[in-house]
């Protein structure tokens, strides 16, 4: 069975790059442009892993993660933050919000795929 990864990224070029990396590694990819859309798609399409940017309009990646971890239907879903916020404080705050793996931009295809592989069943 294919692992489905939901990529949440408001910058189209970044979204396309992340999606390409994951498709090349054999994952099925669905995309969302912000946290609100991501939450809707998570409930409707039940992805196996979420890769989310942190800084986005409407609902940021940390808010999305909190919503996912609070919902009994989705609380076990692994969330990977893929962000340009590189400070240790950002990383610690992310972990407090329930982020499972923290990847900082710029990243390589290998780093991203390794992060997804580490949480995908």
| Domains of the chain (ranges, CATH numbers) | 4-118 (3.40.50.2300)
Each residue's pLDDT tens digit in the chain (121 positions)? 799 999 999 999 999 999 999 999 999 999 999 999 999 999 999 999 999 999 999 999 999 999 999 999 999 999 999 999 889 999 999 999 999 999 999 999 999 999 999 999 6
- Which of helix, strand or coil describes residue 53? coil
CB burial string 83-94: b at 16+ within 10 A, e below: bebeeeebbebb
Q: Are 29 and 22 in contact (CB under 8 A)?
A: yes
Query: DSSP character for 54?
Result: S
């Amino acid at each position: 069975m294919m692992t489905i990864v939901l990529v949440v990224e408001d910058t189209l070029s970044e979204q396309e790059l992340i999606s390409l990396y994951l498709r090349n590694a054999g994952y099925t990819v669905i995309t969302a442009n912000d946290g609100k859309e991501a939450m809707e798609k998570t409930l409707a399409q039940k992805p196996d892993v979420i890769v989310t940017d942190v800084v986005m309009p409407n609902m940021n990646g940390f808010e999305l993660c909190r919503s996912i971890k609070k919902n009994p239907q989705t609380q076990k879903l692994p969330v990977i933050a893929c962000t340009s916020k590189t400070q240790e404080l950002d990383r610690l705050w992310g972990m407090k919000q329930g982020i499972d793996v923290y990847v900082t931009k710029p990243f390589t295809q290998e780093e991203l795929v390794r992060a997804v592989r580490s949480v995908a069943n």
